[in-house]
Every structure is written in structure tokens, then in C-alpha cells.
Amino acid sequence: MSHLSTEDRLRRLLFLVGECVRRRNEADSEASLCAAICEALTETGGYALACVGTPSIEGFQLFACSCGVDVAEPPSWEHTARLRHPMTTLELFGEPYDFGVLRIVAASAAGFEADEQAVLERIADDLSGSIAILRANAAHRQMESQLRQLSRALESSSNGVMITSSTQLNHPIVYVNPAFERITGYSAAEVTGQSGHFLVRDDLNQKGLTEIRAALRGQREGHAILRNYRKDGQLFWNELNIAPVRDEGGGITTHFVSIIDDVSERIAYEQQLEYHATHDVLTGLANRSLLNDRIAQAIARARQDQKMVGVLLLDLDRFKLINDGFGHLPADNLLRTVAERLAGCVRDTDTVARLGGDEFVVVVTDIDDADGVSIVGAKILRALAQPLSVAEKELFVTASIGIAMYPRDGDHGESLLRNADVAMYRVKEHGRNNYRFYAPEMSQMALDRLDMEGNLRRAIERDELQVYYQPILSLASGRVVGAEALLRWNHPRIGMIQPSEFIPLAEETGLIIELGDLVLHTVCRQIRAWQEAGLPAPRVAINISARQFRQEDLVEHVRHILDETGVAGSALEFELTESMVMHDIENTLLTLRDLKSLGAALSLDDFGTGYSSLSYLKRFPIDTLKIDRSFVRDIDHDADDAAIAHAVIAMAHSLGLDVIAEGVETEAQLEQLRGYDCDRFQGYLFSRPVPAGEFTLLLQTGKSIPAKGERP
């Protein structure tokens, strides 16, 4: 411009500034703005070239460019510096980074006047300022659109959202969405400005609250399931997630966003499932599984606090009569009433459970002595003594209660329940409607005569009876040549019950017939199984009771079972006792002959404890004599017993009978028996009675003792 007069130059500069301002105001983007300013500079300012360069990896790159007449557009930023005339390059400052540079090439070699240079610098500054404004506007628009999206999402979310300010004390609510209003019943207007605490009301004893408080304090994310309350007071389960919102620098937490998920239905479902798994459906009391947990917990606590736990097992007396007489529904109602009364007799911290049927258990915790439990026992009896109405009739129920105490009577649930059961049976035996503490002697006589029949019947139905086998060995060969079938009762609570405890009672009640049948069947099937497995099935001795022996069709019955199972009679041996055969000699003889005709062997059990009349025995078709355990026991150190055993064996042999010694427990006894030429023996020395599976193993391995004359 220096070729112009000062006046013209100033006028042109003025025009240029005006044009720049006009064009800047029209521009709506960085590109159009830069292009417009460059054009104003060449068209109005008359410069040879004006261009904007923006920073790039290799310096600058051409962003906008305008050329005067006769000037060709440069292909790149580098080329803009190659024009002949002087040029000025002005910085376009910006925050946080500079935008670039504005380069202007003079129209002539004279270059730029000082005032002209000053105006161009102002134009560059104005351009920087305008770019900054455009950029800010764009950022703002973007943020606004994001916010709009976000708020649409919040409004339509099915989860409640609550935003609280964390820069103020008390964390006041600044925003809640419609779902929050729907879930809680509170409107946005009601809660804005308040602290979010009102949702938990005074239900402050919640584990989840601790977690949420810690997250708020630590300004971190948090998650918990809380009991919250709606405006109408109704409880709902809130699966709450909270997250801090930090300021732009990422340092200070300004807000917390809480996402509220109403999971009441899910929790209700879970609680229902858990309830069913742990409670008795009929009465709502704890069931066996929960009871076991509770007893375990009670014991753990009592161990720590040096206290006692009382386990009361309660069985209603003659409930069966009510059930049979009135039907199930009234009986169920009665059980419910009993459950309520029981629950009313103990503290909340104690447990009342129903094991099924008419059996209940009460666990009394935190007590110092048995007296505390006596009080509960008496209280229960009193509570039950109140008349009950069943099917519109007044009824009196009583109960028998057995009590076992931790630590005295056991240190785990199973043993305590078992012993309480033993004590309970004792109560039944002694007139019912009472309670009793367990005493170790009771275990000997666990079952009550009166309940025996029902119990045994159930045992047969429930497969609680098992046949064990005790091997019988030949002294000559040292091998297993037979087995004695011995009955066991595996009672679910009492455990293994020995035959001496139930055989005599079964005999009295007549149930022995059924038991005998069961043994006969089981044994025959077992023999068959051994035979089919190719094992050397031994002859199995079966004990016959007096009542069974007098059964009219005993022999027919045995024959039938043999046919049914396909086992030969010779696979069996029947054990009888002297007292059985000494009655009604004629009939006895007939039965014995019939049994023999099946091919079975006959032996006389427990010899030495009855008449022990050998001469009499001559008349019976007996094959074997079993010397009772009581003679064998002292055979190695009691001269009398030894003499008797020796004589019995010798006389038996002279009558053509084999001899089995029972109850051989020591090597010394066995040695003595060898000396007397005893034929066979059984006893703990070689094996106790074992379940069929174990006996099968014994057959498979061919376990034996040294044969006669052989040294071990």
C-alpha cells in the first residue's frame, strides 16, 4: 500500500477493517471465517496473498487462502513463502493452544508501513478472538445436545434417579426423575432440597447403610440393597447404586448420582424360596434343616459363653388315634394349635421346630443349668393341658417330652436329638404326659413296649431292618463254611438296635412272624445272588423263634420261599432252642422232620442254657449243637467251664452231632476248642456280624485262618 498517498492508504485501511468486521459477523464456521478474512485482505486490502496456516506435524498447513490478481494459488504452506514481495506472518493466539498464523504478502516490494502493520495485527487479533468464540459456541451446542439426550434418558428410565449435591452439608437432593416419584410416591417438588435420608426412615440398623455411608465419605461408587419406605409407609427393597460426579478437573466431587431399583418382587421371591427350604409348611415352624443349623449355632454360642443348651423332643401322646378318628384336616389344625402354643412357651431367641408327624423340637438357649429347661418342659405341658377343639369337639392332648442337654448329653445336634428321643420313649413307657432328662442308662432300653409294635411295623415298611452275616469257620480247614443271619434294626434316630432289645418284644406281639419272613426272604435272595456271582455260597443259619416254630404252615411257607427264589433247602440251616423243642414233642418231631425233608440242616442254639439233656436230644433229627457263648467265655481259665465244654463236645460227637462254639473272641479260647476237637466256631476273633456287602468281600478274598496242624 506504500505506493498510495497517505490519505488513500488510510482510507483503504479503514475500508479493510470495516469489510473484515462485516465478513466476520457473517461467518458461521472457522473455515468460512478464515476464507472471508483472507478474501477481504486481497480484495479490499489489495494484498498479493493472504492465508491462514494451522499447526501440523511438519509446521503448518494451508487452512484458508486468497490470492490477488495475477497471483497463482500456492499448492502448500511452504509455497506461500516463495512469493517475491515482503510478507508479514501474524500469530493467531488461542487457549489452550494457538490456532495458527495469518500470513499476508505485500502487493509491492515496498512492504508494509508501520501504521498498516499495526492495523493488520489488530485484524489478526480479531480473527483469533472470533475463532475462539466460534469454538466455544460449538462446544456449548454439543454439550447442550448431550445434556438433552441425558435428560431424556433420565426422564424415561425405569430406575429411579436421584442427584444430590455433595458440596453442601446434608447432601440435599437437586434432581429426581419421574421413576423416582413413581417408586417412592414422593413428588420432585416435595423432596428437592431435602436430604435423601427420609427413604430409610428410622430403619437405621441395616448393613447396607454402612456401605453407602462409607462410599459417600470416600467419594467412591457404592452398592447396597436397602429397606426403604414409600410415602405411604410401605416397605420396598431398593437395590441402590451410587456414583460420585466430579468437577471438570476431576478433583472435587460435586454431586452423587443414586440409581434406585425397586427389587421388592425379587427379594420377596427369594425370601419365599428360603422360607420353604427352612420351614414346615403346615405349622410355619422351623423344619429339620433349619433346626440343625439352629442347634449348631446354639452350641457354638454356648461353647463360647460357657452356657448350656436344652433340646426338648416332644411327641404327642396317642396322636394316631386323633388322626385315624377325626381325619387329616382336623388333625392338621390340631398340630397348628400345638405349634402356636409351643412357640408361646419360649423366648424369641429359642427355636421351635417340627420334625414331621406329631414330633416337635424346642431348643432352649442361653441357660446356666437344667432347671431352666425343666421350667420350659413344665410350661409346655401346662400349655398343652388346655382343651383343644377338634372338629367341634373338646379334646385333651398330652405330650411326652425327652430332654437332652449340651454339653452333658452330646455335643452335636444328632446326638442330642437321639438322646432326647431315648428319654422321650422313657416318658411314654412311664405313663406319658411328662418330661424327662436323658440318662446314659436309658440307651440300653430305648424302646417302649407299647410303641414297639407301631415302631417295628414302620421299620419293616421303611426298610430299617437289615440282615447281617457272621461267618462260621471250620476248625479243620480254617475256612468259612457257613454264616449265621442276624437281624439288625437301623433306627433313623436311635441308631443300631440290637436284636436282644426287640426280638423278645416282637415275639410277644406276634410281629416276629413278619420279621422271620423278612429274614428268610432276604437270606434266600442273598444266597441266590452269591451263587449267581459264582461265589462259594456258604450254608446260612437262620434263627427260628418259638412262635414262628409253632406256625402251622411254617414248612409250607419255607418251601414256597425256596421255590420263589430258586434256592435249594440244603443251603439253609435252622437254629432252634431247647425250650422250643421240649414242648409238645409229637408236633415238634413232625415239624423237624418236615424241615429236614427240605434238605435243610438243624442246629440247637444256645446249648447249655436250658435243659441240656443230651439223651433227650437223641430223639430229634438235629445235626449240630451250638455251645452257648457263656461257656466259651471262660474256657481258657475256668476249669469247670472247660470241663463242661469238653464233655459236651465229646458226648455230642458220640451222638453223631457236630459242634459249633459261639462267641470265640480270643486265640486262647480257639486253641482250647481245637484241643477238644470242636468242629466249627463263630466269634469276634474272626469277624463280627457284617452287612451282606462286607460278607461278599470276605467270600471274594477267601479270608481264612490256619488249618488244623498248620502253624500261623
Q: Would you tell me which residues interact with ligand C2E (CB under 6 A)? A: 470, 485-487, 498-500, 503, 516, 519, 543, 545, 575, 605-606, 629, 662-665, 682-684, 689
CB of 30 or CB of 606, closer to ligand C2E: 606
Tell me how far, at minimum, the Cβ of 645 lies from ligand C2E, in Å: 15
CB 365 within 8 Å of CB 302? yes
Query: Which does residue 285 bind out of Mg ion, ligand C2E, none, counting CB within 5 to 8 angstroms by kind?
Result: none
The per-residue DSSP string of 488-534 comes to: EEEETTTEEE-HHHHHHHHHHHTTHHHHHHHHHHHHHHHHHHHHHTT
CB of 482 or CB of 663, closer to ligand C2E: 663
Query: Which does residue 185 bind out of Mg ion, ligand C2E, none, counting CB within 5 to 8 angstroms by kind?
Result: none
CA dihedral 478, 481, 486, 492 (to 10 degrees): 80
Tell me how far, at minimum, the Cβ of 470 lies from Mg ion, in Å: 9
The amino acid present at 152, given as its one-letter code, is: R
Query: Which does residue 498 bind out of ligand C2E, Mg ion, none, counting CB within 5 to 8 angstroms by kind?
Result: ligand C2E
Query: Which does residue 622 bind out of Mg ion, ligand C2E, none, counting CB within 5 to 8 angstroms by kind?
Result: none
* Interface with Mg ion (CB under 5 A), residue from 606, 641, 658, 679: 606
Burial of 93 (0-12, 13-18, 19+ CB in 10 A): middle
The per-residue DSSP string of 118-156 comes to: HHHHHHHHHHHHHHHHHHHHHHHHHHHHHHHHHHHHHHH
* Longest CA span, the chain: 168
| Phi-psi label, residue 454: left if phi above 0, alpha if psi -120 to 50, beta otherwise | alpha
Nearest to 310 by CA among 182, 218, 423, 216: 423
Per the omega criterion (within 30 degrees of 0), is the bond before 407 cis? yes
575 contributes a contact to Mg ion by CB under 5 A: yes
Residue 464, C-beta contacts closer than 8 angstroms, at least 6 positions apart: 458, 489, 490, 491, 492
CB of 358 or CB of 575, closer to Mg ion: 575
Interatomic CA distance for residues 27 and 34, integer angstroms: 9
Query: Which does residue 684 bind out of Mg ion, ligand C2E, none, counting CB within 5 to 8 angstroms by kind?
Result: ligand C2E
CB of 113 or CB of 517, closer to Mg ion: 517
CB of 186 or CB of 489, closer to ligand C2E: 489
CB of 315 or CB of 606, closer to Mg ion: 606
Tell me how far, at minimum, the Cβ of 625 lies from ligand C2E, in Å: 13
CB of 286 or CB of 472, closer to ligand C2E: 472
Binding segment toward Mg ion, per CB under 5 A, in 99-107, 170-178, 468-476, 574-582: 574-582
CB of 455 or CB of 543, closer to ligand C2E: 543
Residue 171, C-beta contacts closer than 8 angstroms, at least 6 positions apart: 164, 165, 195, 196, 216, 256
Interatomic CA distance for residues 351 and 368, integer angstroms: 17
Window 638-677: contact mask with Mg ion (x via CB under 5 A)? ------------------------x---------------
Nearest to 471 by CA among 637, 280, 179, 680: 680
Query: Which does residue 665 bind out of Mg ion, ligand C2E, none, counting CB within 5 to 8 angstroms by kind?
Result: ligand C2E
Query: Which does residue 499 bind out of ligand C2E, Mg ion, none, counting CB within 5 to 8 angstroms by kind?
Result: ligand C2E
543 contributes a contact to Mg ion by CB under 5 A: yes
Binding segment toward Mg ion, per CB under 5 A, in 114-122, 469-477, 569-577, 703-711: 569-577
Q: What is the number of other CB atoms lying within 10 angstroms of the CB of residue 457? A: 13
CB of 285 or CB of 515, closer to ligand C2E: 515
Tell me how far, at minimum, the Cβ of 280 lies from ligand C2E, in Å: 37
Per-residue exposure over 314-332, b if at least 16 CB sit within 10 Å of its own CB, e if not: bbbbebeebbeebeeebbe
Interatomic CA distance for residues 34 and 30, integer angstroms: 6
CB of 271 or CB of 444, closer to ligand C2E: 444
Nearest to 422 by CA among 399, 401, 452, 450: 401
Residue in the structure block whose three cell numbers are 414302620 = 458
Tell me how far, at minimum, the Cβ of 371 lies from ligand C2E, in Å: 39
CB 164 within 8 Å of CB 253? no
Tell me how far, at minimum, the Cβ of 513 lies from ligand C2E, in Å: 10
CB of 320 or CB of 703, closer to ligand C2E: 703
573 contributes a contact to Mg ion by CB under 5 A: no
Interatomic CA distance for residues 353 and 658, integer angstroms: 58
Tell me how far, at minimum, the Cβ of 326 lies from ligand C2E, in Å: 38
Tell me how far, at minimum, the Cβ of 649 lies from ligand C2E, in Å: 18
Tell me how far, at minimum, the Cβ of 664 lies from ligand C2E, in Å: 6
